[in-house]
């Protein structure tokens, strides 16, 4: 479905009209209207004028490049939250349904399609259908799966495979030539994010560092604890438990730097030896009551409605090995990083700053 076709469909549904009803009001065939909505046909000037008149809008509002989609009525599959709460919006028949993007629903919890199955361990694979061009990205940012939709809409389309892991592991995979891009938010010795660590791990092979998002990292706190915890030292009390991140992740390094700054014994913090494999799993553990606090990003805390105590402001970049720079997958990535859809999605996530998304940061 084209953007103009989607806008037409939303405008029709916002007024509670079926395709047949709108076609009758505009004096066009239902088949012609359906073709425009599906993106299979561009409307003639006569049809565009007739549809705009029937809907009570201008042609520019309906088909112009900068038009804003109208507010629509949708059926909610669950309570949606307050103003600004994010949802998935999808047409089902002649209606729209809205699914809240909050708590566990901010990430995928079902089976993903397989490209193959192991035939002979450890690494002989029986493909399930022919392999297709797929951008492989490693990193811990739970916003990385948002790349999937704009990549799929390219002509020809490119798939997305996200391997969630800490920044150090992502750079290791990039250095080993196993991913097209590594997401990282590592503070280097010179006090700058990502360029130093990328040069250390990929400098001989060369790489580009491209901006993605910025956020704050800190302590995620269970509801009701925010007023009682003003810093990490407050977690040394016997009745409070922490959920930590894995070695090599920047989140754990942030925690360790704070431990060192305060002169604390890390093992005086109950749960210091635990390990969760990402920002959202940390927030999920706190929300489930398995811990009182964790170390994660502010967007993860906000997604679960938890308290947050900032410890650092960070930049999350994509490190692209030079060997892959001209590949179809990386060129597709660079195209979608500046797409209005992706920027709008990142901006809609509380706690994210996409101001530098797609900008070239450095060549190492």
What are the tens digits of pLDDT across the range 154-172? 888 898 999 998 999 999 9
Q: Which pLDDT score is estimated for 65?
A: 67
Q: Which pLDDT score is estimated for 68?
A: 58
- Residue 258 and residue 239: Cα distance in Å, rounded? 21
Burial of 41 (0-12, 13-18, 19+ CB in 10 A): middle
pLDDT band at 110 (very low <50, low <70, confident <90, very high): confident
Helices (H), 163-292: 167-175, 195-202, 250-262, 279-287
- The proportion of the chain whose per-residue pLDDT surpasses 90, expressed as a percent, equals 53
Q: Which pLDDT score is estimated for 1?
A: 53
pLDDT band at 357 (very low <50, low <70, confident <90, very high): very high
Instruction: Pick the most confident of 87-96, 225-234, 295-304.
Output: 295-304
Residue 241 DSSP SS3: coil
- Asked if the model's pLDDT at residue 119 lies above 90, the reply is no
Supply φ then ψ for residue 211, to 5 degrees. -65, 150
The mean pLDDT of 40-57, rounded to a whole number, is: 87
Mean pLDDT of the chain: 88
CATH 1.10.10.10 at 3-63, yes or no? no
Q: Which pLDDT score is estimated for 55?
A: 87
Q: Where are the beta strands (DSSP E) in 244-331?
A: 293-297, 307-321
The mean pLDDT of 145-152, rounded to a whole number, is: 94
Domains 3-63 and 132-364 share a fold: no
Catalogue the long-range contacts made by 93-102 (C-beta closer than 8 Å, 24 or more residues apart): 94/13, 94/18, 94/19, 95/13, 96/10, 96/13, 96/72, 98/74, 100/76, 102/303, 102/304, 102/305
Give the H or E element holding residue 215.
strand 207-221
Residue 293 half-sphere exposure toward CB, CA atoms < 13 A: 31
| DSSP summary character for residue 229 | -
CATH number assigned to the domain covering 132-364 = 3.40.190.290
Structure tokens at 276: 């969760």
Q: Is the dihedral of CA 356, 359, 361, 364 positive or negative?
A: positive
- Asked if the model's pLDDT at residue 120 lies above 80, the reply is no
Structure tokens at 346: 């990142």
Closest among 309, 331, 317 to 185, alpha carbons compared: 317
Cα distances from 161 to residues 1, 100, 113, 135, 139, in angstroms, run: 24, 24, 10, 6, 11
- The proportion of the chain whose per-residue pLDDT surpasses 70, expressed as a percent, equals 96
Q: Are 230 and 258 in contact (CB under 8 A)?
A: no
Q: Residue ranges per domain, the chain?
A: 3-63, 75-102, 132-364
């Amino acid at each position: 479905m084209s953007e103009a076709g989607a806008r037409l469909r939303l405008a029709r549904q916002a007024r509670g009209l079926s395709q047949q009803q709108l076609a009758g009001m505009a004096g066009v065939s239902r088949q012609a209207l359906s073709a425009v909505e599906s993106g299979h046909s561009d409307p003639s000037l006569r049809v565009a004028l007739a549809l705009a008149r029937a809907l009570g809008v201008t042609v520019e509002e309906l088909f112009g490049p900068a038009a804003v989609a109208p507010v629509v009525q949708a059926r909610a599959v669950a309570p949606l939250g307050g103003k600004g709460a994010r949802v998935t919006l999808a047409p089902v028949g002649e209606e729209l349904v809205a699914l809240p993007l909050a708590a566990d629903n901010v990430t995928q919890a079902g089976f993903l399609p397989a490209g193959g199955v192991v035939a002979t361990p450890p690494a002989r694979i029986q493909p399930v259908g022919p392999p297709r061009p797929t951008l492989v990205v490693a990193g811990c940012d739970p916003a990385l799966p948002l790349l999937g939709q704009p990549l799929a809409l390219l002509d020809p389309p490119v798939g997305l495979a996200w391997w969630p892991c800490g920044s150090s592991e992502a750079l290791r995979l990039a250095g080993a030539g196993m991913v097209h891009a590594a997401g990282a938010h590592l503070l280097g010795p010179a006090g700058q994010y990502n360029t130093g660590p990328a040069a250390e791990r990929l400098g001989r092979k060369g790489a580009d560092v491209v901006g993605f998002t910025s956020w704050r990292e800190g302590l995620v706190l269970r509801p009701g604890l925010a007023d009682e915890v003003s810093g990490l030292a407050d977690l040394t009390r016997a009745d409070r438990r922490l959920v930590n991140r894995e070695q090599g992740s920047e989140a754990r390094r942030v925690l360790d730097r704070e431990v060192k700054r305060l002169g604390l014994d890390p093992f005086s913090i109950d749960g210091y030896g635990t390990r969760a494999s990402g920002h959202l799993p940390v927030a999920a553990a706190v929300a489930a009551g398995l811990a009182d606090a964790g170390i994660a990003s502010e967007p993860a805390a906000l997604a679960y409605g938890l308290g947050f105590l900032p410890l650092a402001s960070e930049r999350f970049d994509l490190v692209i090995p030079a060997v892959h720079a001209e590949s179809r997958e990386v060129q597709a990535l660079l195209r979608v990083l500046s797409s209005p859809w992706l920027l709008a999605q990142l901006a809609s996530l509380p706690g994210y700053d996409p101001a530098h998304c797609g900008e070239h940061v450095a060549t190492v």
